[in-house]
Amino acid sequence: MSETPLPALTIADVQRAVTAELDRLGPVIDELGELFAAAGHELALVGGPVRDAMLGRQHNDLDFTTSARPDDTEAILKRWVSSDRRGATWDMGREFGTIGCRKGPWQVEVTTYRSETYDPTSRKPDVDFGDSLAGDLVRRDFTVNAMAVRLPGRDVVDLYGGVVDLATGIIRTPGTPEASFSDDPLRMMRAARFAAQLGFDVAPEVVTAMREMADRISIISAERVRDELVKLVTAPYPRRGLSLLVDTGLAERVIPELPALQLERDEHHRHKDVYEHTLTVLEQTIDLEPRLPGGGPDFVARFAALMHDVGKPRTRRFVEDGTVTFHHHDVVGAKLTRKRMQALKFSNADIDAVSHLVELHLRFHGYGSGEWTDSAVRRYVRDAGDELDRLHVLTRADCTTRNRRKAERLWRTYDALEDRIERLAAEEELASLRPALDGNQIMSILGLAPGRQVGEAYRFLMELRLDEGPMSREDAEVRLREWWATRG
């Protein structure tokens, strides 16, 4: 399964990894370090690149912190990239002290030492420039991100035990978690995200602070919350992060449909634990991502798996015989998904794709044991549209029964459906499913001007195409005239 955490590291592992990665980065970090030092400024590689260097992960996107102010940083970076005719600098983050540049395969951001805090009622941080590396590191979110490498000497600075926490797999804050989360409440989401990305445990005092301060997340903009959620969902171990959000109450403020899946179990356990089922479907979706064109991680597929049953709490009904039903939870769930994603400011494309998959996730179960007609298969493909590959993955992932025989039967049935889709696709060009006549031809044959009747005629021909498969233009014209004649 997907939720296997990273193996434990030793301090020696960390030292070897960081030495090798700093040697690889040498052409960038040594040259920049010397340029800043010559101008009388401090420079240090910091944050994620240092953490990932210790984990043996390579990056060409590098973050630095410096004593230099933005104008001085910009001048130095322009001098550094000048030897590369494709090099460039930018200053979109100037108000936060950040100047960026690109040289060859390297993308660099250099930020002036700073501290930032949130007013309790503000969604934007107040940024003040600092004057020391130590002061800059203490304001960072977690100890594993609060390590630095001074340049050009390559001295590792670890004031808060980040190396040990990295080796033992713990997420802690450099100062008190209460102070850290008060400064930037989004760090609570980031704790869950790093748990999901690294497979680490979150320190008990950090979890306690998250639980007690969960309401503070309300001052953070929907866009920033969305971005953290996307990173969490597409991480290698999303169950860890999502479980933490639910357990601390943050999910109730960010994506309340998820904890709502923790339905009260009836005394006879006649329905599955919907919350645990959902997390299992998410994990099985991840396992099936190699089937998708991009190979994963695929946010749309994963988020559809996370949201596919959110309509169940609204539609749960207990029948007289004691069974439980969730009729139309697919339709209700699609509406809830669209509403939540709109609130989180997702793109229209992502909203449409995810909510469409949620609405279609039960469609396969009308297939029974394989008795669908070709017409029904064509409609399945037509309705799925561009999301057909993801629908295949979601439908397969949604089988979480422990009854092996039942699971194998469902998989064989879906294999048969995919085989039929492939056969019909080869025979009938299902990818571009359309009638034999277009709108202009319909207007010419029936003597119509553009309008509602042309649309009705087109829909008639599309239904004909779905029911009977491809036909010639001549046959389509005969059927169109017959249909038109019946309308008087």
Tokens standing for 367? 């297939």
Each residue's pLDDT tens digit, 386-404:
999 999 999 999 988 888 8
Q: What is the pLDDT of residue 106?
A: 94
At 266, is the pLDDT very low, low, confident or very high (cuts 50, 70, 90)? very low
- Over 70: is that where the pLDDT of 121 sits? no
Q: What is the pLDDT of residue 451?
A: 87
Q: What is the pLDDT of residue 122?
A: 61
Between CA 383 and CA 377 the distance in angstroms is 10
- Over 70: is that where the pLDDT of 274 sits? yes
- Over 90: is that where the pLDDT of 279 sits? yes
Per-residue pLDDT, averaged over 119-129, amounts to 65
Q: In whole numbers, what is the pLDDT of the chain averaged over residues?
A: 88
Each residue's pLDDT tens digit, 285-326:
999 999 998 887 999 999 999 999 999 988 888 887 777 888
Question: How many other C-beta atoms are found inside a 10 Å radius of the C-beta of residue 317?
Answer: 9
1-168 matches 169-254 in fold: no
Per-residue pLDDT, averaged over 206-213, amounts to 98
- R_g of the chain, CA atoms, integer Å: 28
Per-residue pLDDT, averaged over 15-36, amounts to 92
Residues contacting 459, CB < 8 A, separation 6+: none
The pTM of the full predicted model, rounded to 2 decimals, is 0.82
Each residue's pLDDT tens digit, 215-239:
999 999 999 999 999 999 999 999 9
- Over 80: is that where the pLDDT of 71 sits? yes
Decide which of 375 and 156 is more confident: 156
The lowest-confidence range among 53-62, 213-222, 274-283 is 53-62
Q: What is the pLDDT of residue 420?
A: 84
Tokens standing for 156? 């590792």
At 207, is the pLDDT very low, low, confident or very high (cuts 50, 70, 90)? very high
At 370, is the pLDDT very low, low, confident or very high (cuts 50, 70, 90)? low
Each residue's pLDDT tens digit, 128-157:
788 899 989 988 999 999 999 999 999 999
Each residue's pLDDT tens digit, 172-188:
999 999 999 998 999 99
Please tell me the class of the 1-168 domain. Answer: alpha beta
At 363, is the pLDDT very low, low, confident or very high (cuts 50, 70, 90)? confident
Which strands sit side by side in the sheet containing 61-66, from one edge to the other?
88-90, 98-103, 106-112, 61-66, 43-46, 148-151, 155-157
Hey, which residues does 150 pair with through a beta bridge?
44, 155
Planar angle of CA 194, 60, 185, nearest 5 degrees? 30
Q: What is the pLDDT of residue 201?
A: 95
Between CA 375 and CA 370 the distance in angstroms is 13
At 275, is the pLDDT very low, low, confident or very high (cuts 50, 70, 90)? very high
Between CA 103 and CA 116 the distance in angstroms is 29
Question: Which ranges in 199-273 belong to alpha helices (H)?
Answer: 204-212, 222-233, 238-248, 250-254
Handedness of CA 195, 198, 199, 205 (dihedral sign): negative
Instruction: Identify the DSSP state of 154.
Output: T
Cα distances from 23 to residues 58, 60, 62, 272, in angstroms, run 11, 13, 14, 53
Tokens standing for 78? 């322009």
Decide which of 181 and 459 is more confident: 181
- Over 70: is that where the pLDDT of 7 sits? no
Hey, which residues does 221 pair with through a beta bridge?
none
The continuous run of DSSP H or E covering 335 comes out as: helix 329-343
Q: What is the pLDDT of residue 3?
A: 53
Between CA 102 and CA 109 the distance in angstroms is 9
Q: What is the pLDDT of residue 5?
A: 55
Of 446, 444, 440, 456, nearest to 482 by C-alpha is: 446
At 430, is the pLDDT very low, low, confident or very high (cuts 50, 70, 90)? low
- Over 70: is that where the pLDDT of 440 sits? yes
Q: What is the pLDDT of residue 332?
A: 95
Q: Domain ranges for the chain, please list them.
A: 1-168, 169-254, 260-432, 439-486
Q: Tokens 């923790």 map to which residue? A: 262
The topology (CATH level 3) of 169-254 is Hydrophobic Seed Protein (1.10.110)
Q: What is the pLDDT of residue 431?
A: 59
The lowest-confidence range among 339-343, 354-358, 371-375 is 371-375
Between CA 381 and CA 391 the distance in angstroms is 10
3-state secondary structure of 46: strand
